[in-house]
Every structure is written in C-alpha cells, then in structure tokens.
C-alpha cells in the first residue's frame, strides 16, 4: 500500500498538469467578426448613427469585450465640430453585474450603437471614424490572450455653400470742396445681390463697414432679406450722407452676410471710392496725365501749382506727393540733359548732370532711376584714355559707354512707361 501512494501522487500531478495545459489561451484562433454600419456622407447639423455587430467567430471564448470610438484619434481640427454622445460599450458587462460570467461564447453575437453630432459650422471635409474592439480570447477566466482591432471608416461632409455676388452701380463718387477746404454732400447708388449657386441663401444682410470719415447710410429694401433662392437676386439703392471731409480718396466697403440652410454664416463684399476734389487735386491729376503723355514741362508746372495749394492749407500728405512727382520729372529732364552733354563730348558735365538726376530720383523715392544714373556715372568714370573705350569693327563700331548708356536709356523709357501707367 505504501508503494502505491507515490504512484497515485505522481498520477494526480500529471492529471492536474494536463488540465492546466488545456485552459491556456496560446492556441491558434480565428479573429472575431465586426460588421459596421454608418453613413458614408452627412450634411452639417446632423447626427452620425453608427451600428456595430460583433460575432464571436474565434472558436473559443471572448472575455471582458469592449467596443468604442477612438475619439482622440480624430484630428482636433475636425473634432472641434463634433459632439459625442454614446461612444463606448462593454458587450457583456451587464452579465457580470448579475453574477454571470462576463463572456461571449463561440458563435454568440452582440449589437451596439453610437451617436455623434456634426454641428452647423463644420466645413466640407472628411471625418475619419475609428471603431475599436478590445477583448481577451481563450478558455481561462483570467489571464487570457489580449486582442485589439481597429477599423477606420471615412464620412464625407457635404456642403453646397450658397454663393452671393454683390455689385455696386458705381466705382467712384466725386465731391467738390467748399468753404474751409472741406466737402460735405449726399448721393445715392444702386446695387444688386445675385445668388449664383444652386442653394438658397438666408438672412441676407447688407451693411456699410466702419469708415474713417463721418458718414451715414440708408439701404433699401429693408434688411435683412429672409431668403434669396438659387439663380435669383435683388436690386436696391444705397443712400449716403457725409460729414465734413478733406480732399483725398476714401474707400467705402459694403459687406453682405448670409446663412446657409444649416445656419453657417458667409460673406461677400464690394467697395467704391469717395474722391474729394479741389483745384489742387485737379492739378495733380492733370500733372499725371501730362507725365503719361511725356509732356514733362507741363507735368512739372501742374505738380508745382498743386503743391503750392496743398501747402497753403497744410495738407501734408498730398503736398509731399506733389513734391515727389516734381522731383521725378526733374530727374527725367536732368537725365536727358546728361545724355545730350555726353553725346556732345562734354563728359565731365554729363557726369555732373547724371549726379543731379540721381539726387532727384532719390528724392522721388525712385530707386530704379537712381540706379540707372549710378550706372552711367560709373561708365564715365571708367572710360579709357582719350575718353573712348571702343569695340570696333571694320565700320568704326561703338564705344562701350555708348552701348551702356543706350541700354540705360531703353531701361529708363520702359520704367517711365510702367511708372506713369501705375500712377494714373
């Protein structure tokens, strides 16, 4: 009997060892099956309903199973437009609360549902949704093999924004100065707002942006307009009254705001200029026209007269502008004089004139003209003996300075044409 006891003890250990080996979770298994239903597209201000069906197709048990939406993996710039409600579900946790095992047996299945809301401000973009299953697979009650699976789905936000086009009846309104060198007046202009898209625009509001001048306005028809349907529009009138304003150009901007069906606000704008003119302003404009026509003496006279009038009333901004335009014309005239002196063989005098032209260009803040004069001065200073450095062929050739100055003159003419066109 005593000899039998060791044999029975060893047999008992073998049986216990075999039983323990049978419940470990390291044997191969098939993955569980997830079926997800969710929309592929949505519109703003709507819910995203997500249904997930989980089937235990592993051939063994699934313990402590959880399905959830990985909210943190959604980029923050998209997440800011979303509101999350039901995003996590334990499949059999309710069983554990009732004293049963928290387990999903082979071939069993469970259904869960989640809800996300996209707000009215969400733009047209793609929302990545990450569905995650976390569970433990195996026969044991504790210490089974962990399993995690993530599935990604994309939802496209459809947004057909309404597009309104605002157009004013005039680009510019001119007022003449009166006493004390100021202007005060009133005027009106027409406008139109057209819906050029395939969706309606709601709560259309037209307003004048804050200005730096005293100004009041009235808009008809009365705002806001409840709705402008696709391919439709409205016509109206803007009435403006100004306070006392000085000569100059003032930009007035009109803003049209409107909502889409989901409540998101959009905007468009257009602008016009109020130009307060005086004798000085008209002289300034006339000088620009003379300059554009290459009538330099007439341009110089107009700029000088305008400057004198502006200085008389201490209008610094436009008097400075007239001074710069005067210096620009003086630079052109002095450059031409330098050219004549050079071709007459008076190189020293030509250099002096180029230097004076350069000063005029610098006073006019024209760095390109000043640079051209510097090139001409450099060429004269580096002339060879006898005042000529030539590249000659059998017919006599040209001096290098003549070639350089010809290039400079062509460049100056092109610059002048572009500059005067831009100043118009």
pLDDT of residue 12: 44
Residue 322 DSSP symbol = H
Output the furthest CA–CA distance in the chain (Å, rounded): 143
Note whether 134 and 70 are within 8 A (CB).
Answer: no
Instruction: Provide DSSP, 107-141.
Output: T-EEEEEEEEEE-TT--S-EEEEEEEEEEEESSSS
pLDDT of residue 154: 96
Contacts of 304 (CB under 8 A, 6+ apart): 322, 326
β-partners of residue 156 are: 41, 126
Q: Are strands 41-42 and 145-157 parallel, antiparallel or unpaired?
A: parallel
Of 351, 321, 353, nearest to 337 by C-alpha is: 353
Residue 92 DSSP symbol = S
Burial of 67 (0-12, 13-18, 19+ CB in 10 A): buried
pLDDT of residue 198: 85
What angle is formed at CA 60 by the lines to CA 54 and CA 64, rounded to 5 degrees?
55
Note whether 187 and 238 are within 8 A (CB).
Answer: no
Q: Positive or negative CA dihedral for 201, 205, 207, 209?
A: negative
Q: Where are the domains of the chain?
A: 26-157, 164-277, 279-423
Output phi, psi for 353, to 5 deg. -70, -40
Q: Which two tokens stand for residue 292?
A: 């554009």
Query: What is the tally of helices (H) and strands (E) in the chain?
Result: 9, 21
Whole-number Å distance between alpha carbons of 14 and 20: 10
Domain covering 164-277: architecture: Sandwich (2.60)
Note whether 388 and 382 are within 8 A (CB).
Answer: no
pLDDT of residue 127: 96
What is the chain's pLDDT, residue by residue, as a tens digit (424 residues)? 444 444 444 444 444 343 333 334 445 789 999 999 999 999 888 999 999 999 999 999 999 899 999 999 999 999 999 999 989 999 887 777 677 788 999 999 999 999 999 998 888 899 999 999 999 999 886 668 899 999 999 999 988 789 999 999 999 988 877 655 567 778 999 999 999 988 899 999 999 998 888 999 999 999 999 999 999 999 999 999 988 888 778 999 999 999 998 888 899 999 999 988 778 878 888 999 999 999 999 999 999 988 887 787 667 887 899 999 999 999 999 999 999 998 888 999 999 999 999 999 999 999 989 999 999 999 888 875 344 443 334 444 344 455 455 545 545 554 454 444 444 4
Q: Provide the b/e sequence for 205-225 (b: ≥16 CB within 10 Å).
A: ebebeeeeeebebebeeeeeb
Are the folds of 26-157 and 164-277 the same?
Answer: yes
Superfamily (CATH H level) for 26-157: Immunoglobulins (2.60.40.10)
3-class state of residue 58 by DSSP = coil
pLDDT of residue 164: 95
pLDDT of residue 23: 38
pLDDT of residue 94: 73
């Amino acid at each position: 009997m005593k000899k039998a006891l060791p044999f029975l003890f060893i047999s008992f250990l073998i049986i216990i060892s075999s039983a323990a080996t049978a419940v470990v979770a390291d044997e191969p298994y098939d993955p569980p099956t997830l079926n997800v239903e969710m929309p592929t597209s949505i519109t703003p201000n709507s819910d995203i309903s997500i249904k997930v069906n989980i089937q235990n197709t592993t051939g063994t048990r699934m313990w402590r199973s959880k399905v959830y939406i990985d909210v943190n993996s959604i980029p923050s710039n998209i997440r800011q437009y979303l509101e999350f409600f039901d995003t996590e579900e334990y499949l059999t946790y309710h069983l554990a609360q009732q004293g049963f095992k928290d387990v999903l047996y082979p071939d069993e299945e469970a259904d869960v549902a989640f809800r996300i809301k996209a707000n009215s401000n969400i733009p047209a973009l793609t929302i990545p949704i990450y569905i995650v299953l976390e569970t433990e697979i195996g026969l044991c009650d504790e210490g089974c093999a962990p399993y995690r699976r993530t599935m990604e789905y994309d939802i496209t936000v459809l947004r057909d924004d309404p597009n309104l086009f605002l157009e004013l009846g005039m680009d510019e309104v001119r007022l003449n100065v009166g006493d004390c060198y100021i202007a005060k007046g009133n005027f009106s202009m027409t406008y139109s707002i057209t819906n050029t898209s395939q969706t309606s625009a709601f709560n259309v509001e037209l307003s004048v942006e804050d200005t730096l001048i005293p100004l009041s306005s009235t808009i008809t028809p009365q705002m806001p307009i409840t709705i402008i349907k696709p391919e439709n529009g409205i016509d109206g009138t803007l009435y403006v009254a100004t306070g006392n304003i000085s000569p100059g150009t003032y930009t007035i901007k009109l803003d049209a705001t409107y909502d889409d069906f989901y409540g998101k606000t959009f905007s468009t704008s257009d602008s016009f200029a109020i130009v307060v003119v005086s004798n000085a302003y008209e002289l300034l404009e006339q000088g620009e026209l003379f300059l554009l026509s290459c009538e330099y003496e007439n341009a110089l006279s107009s700029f000088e007269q305008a400057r004198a009038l502006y200085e008389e009333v201490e209008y610094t901004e436009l008097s400075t502008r007239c001074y710069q335009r005067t210096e620009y014309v003086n630079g052109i005239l002095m450059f031409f004089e330098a050219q004549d002196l050079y071709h007459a063989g008076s190189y020293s005098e030509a250099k002096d004139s180029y230097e004076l032209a350069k000063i005029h260009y610098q006073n006019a803040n024209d760095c390109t003209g000043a640079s051209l004069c510097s090139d001409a001065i450099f060429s004269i200073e580096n002339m060879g003996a006898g005042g000529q450095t030539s590249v000659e062929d059998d017919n006599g050739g040209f001096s290098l300075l003549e070639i350089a100055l010809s290039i400079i003159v062509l460049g100056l003419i092109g610059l002048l044409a572009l500059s005067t066109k831009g100043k118009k």
